[in-house]
Amino acid sequence: MSFKTKLSQIKLRFLELWEYKVFQWAVIIHLGYFIVSLVCVLTILRHQNDFLIYFNAGGVFYNDINDLYNQDNYIWDFRYLPLSAMFFVPFYLLGFDLGFIIFHILNLILNILICVLLFKIIKFIRKEDHEQDDKRIIIYISLYLVAAPQMFNYILGQINLYITFFMLVALYVFLKYEELKWHLFGSIILGLSIVLKPTALLLIPFLLVINYDLNHRKLIFDFPKSFIRIIGVIFPISLNIIIFLLYPKLWDGFIETNFTGGNPLTLNFSFSITKIILNFCYMYNIPFNQIYILMIVLGIFGFLGYIFFLFGKYHERDSIIYGFTFGLVITLLVYYDSWNHHLLNLTPLLIILIFILPRNSEVTNKYIKKGFFFFSFFDLAFMGLWFLTVLWFPYNFASTIFLILVFYGLSKHSLSTEDKDSFNKYIKKVRGE
């Protein structure tokens, strides 16, 4: 198919979508976010944005890599793996203004690609009791486009959309293809997202194709697929080890910045459980060790999440969607800094879950949908409220509650048998039988 034909197909499809009022408004509002944030970053927020950190990291990587974790180079700490800085070198070479404009346009393109992937994945996995036209999918994708974290993500010049995009590409590949080579490819893509920003790090254990069938007391473990996935995801991450070995000073800087430095101690509106506990300890002068708190919270949610995943009563191919969602929810509940814009990684997965669960599922209505709407439209308001109450109540707890509700909903569904029959239909559809 020629490029021209493909282009005219895209144009036609876009015109079809443009017929939907909700899509029209979503595009207009989203482009509004795009343009307002672009102007803000180039003017009033020029010295106060996350892109500046990536930009400087690119510069330090280019000029003197040993200095990468010297935080004097940044307005806020640079915390990511060393290879991620390499990605920002081209933006650094373009200069701040042009670099940001290109970066910003790339973010917009990524959002379009995320919507396309979401559409494709949903069409692929949608349960049969859902409406068979596209209207409901378009509504949810439009809601994703107008969600408040989009504006926050743009205005900070953040890289969450890369993570979401890579995660969805990996998910699409895992769902669509059976061959091991594709699973290797998908996991390498996921590994790249972790190199760029370690948000998806806790998704790694969920790549294992493992399940314990409680009814038949049988452990199912697809070793070749699991092995290939783990090798694939570890490979890009392990390239950082070479950098750490070549520049040993970087390792100390990376560990100190992420786990033992001062940043985890300062008050902020992160909605992770770990941070809420740390804020509590800070307020009431309770002695604490931040690493122990992190490990305890991770131990509790990580263990529970994995147990529910392991005993989950879903088909092998669906399990990766639940695994990714469990992994991300656990990350957001556990890591010190869980911000509003990180929710852009989670909301696409919640949309997929809405379509994979039965149309009138109790889990969808009670937990997933409510979580999706809260994260998309209300979380930002609570961030504002936090500033009013910080003196005596520095806890941004509302999103935490909704994350726990999503976690509970996932766990409940994992152990329930409500839609077991529809898995068989899905398998048939996927295999084209």
Partner 1 sequence: MKLKSFLISYFLLLVILIVLTPSAKASDYEIGVEEGDTFIWNCNVCDNDKLDEILGKEWNDDGFFEDVEKGARMKWKISDTDDDEKIYSSETKENETVYSIEFGKWIWTTNDEWGDEDKDEESYLFKDPDDFSEDFIFPELAPIWLPIPMGEYLKNIDLYEGYTIDARVIDSITCEIDRADIDDKYPKENIKIVAMYNEQGVLKSYKLYIGDHNVILDISLESFITINFLFLSILTAIIYFGILYFIYRIMKS
Q: List residues binding partner 1 (CB under 8 A).
A: 14-15, 18, 24, 28, 31, 35, 38-39, 42-44, 46-47, 71-72, 74-77, 97, 101, 261-263, 265-269, 281-282, 285, 287-289, 366, 370, 382, 385, 388-391, 398, 401, 405
In the numeric block, the tokens 């109450």 are attached to: 389
List phi, psi (to 5°) of 16. -60, -45
Contacts of 359 (CB under 8 A, 6+ apart): 127, 129, 130, 131
Comparing CB distances to partner 1, the nearer of 1 and 15 is: 15
Tell the smallest beta-carbon distance from residue 270 to partner 1 (Å). Answer: 9
Comparing CB distances to partner 1, the nearer of 31 and 219 is: 31
CB neighbours (10 Å) of residue 170? 28
Supply angle C-alpha 112, 28, 169, rounded to 5. Answer: 10
Comparing CB distances to partner 1, the nearer of 11 and 420 is: 11
Comparing CB distances to partner 1, the nearer of 7 and 39 is: 39
Say if CB 56 and CB 74 are below 8 A apart: yes
**Left, alpha or beta for 432 (phi > 0: left; psi -120 to 50: alpha)?**
left
Tell the smallest beta-carbon distance from residue 374 to partner 1 (Å). Answer: 9
Contacts of 347 (CB under 8 A, 6+ apart): 144, 147, 149, 372, 375, 376
Measured distance CA(23)–CA(32) in Å, rounded: 14
Tell the smallest beta-carbon distance from residue 236 to partner 1 (Å). Answer: 28
Tell the smallest beta-carbon distance from residue 261 to partner 1 (Å). Answer: 6
Say if CB 88 and CB 55 are below 8 A apart: yes
Comparing CB distances to partner 1, the nearer of 318 and 337 is: 337
Q: What pairs with residue 218 in β-bridges? A: 213
Tell the smallest beta-carbon distance from residue 162 to partner 1 (Å). Answer: 21
CB neighbours (10 Å) of residue 17? 19
Tell the smallest beta-carbon distance from residue 70 to partner 1 (Å). Answer: 9
Comparing CB distances to partner 1, the nearer of 261 and 358 is: 261
Tell the smallest beta-carbon distance from residue 321 to partner 1 (Å). Answer: 23
Count H helices and E strands in the chain, helices first.
21, 2
Comparing CB distances to partner 1, the nearer of 70 and 424 is: 70
Comparing CB distances to partner 1, the nearer of 293 and 334 is: 293
Measured distance CA(343)–CA(372) in Å, rounded: 9
Show the tokens assigned to 393. Answer: 């109540």
Tell the smallest beta-carbon distance from residue 300 to partner 1 (Å). Answer: 20
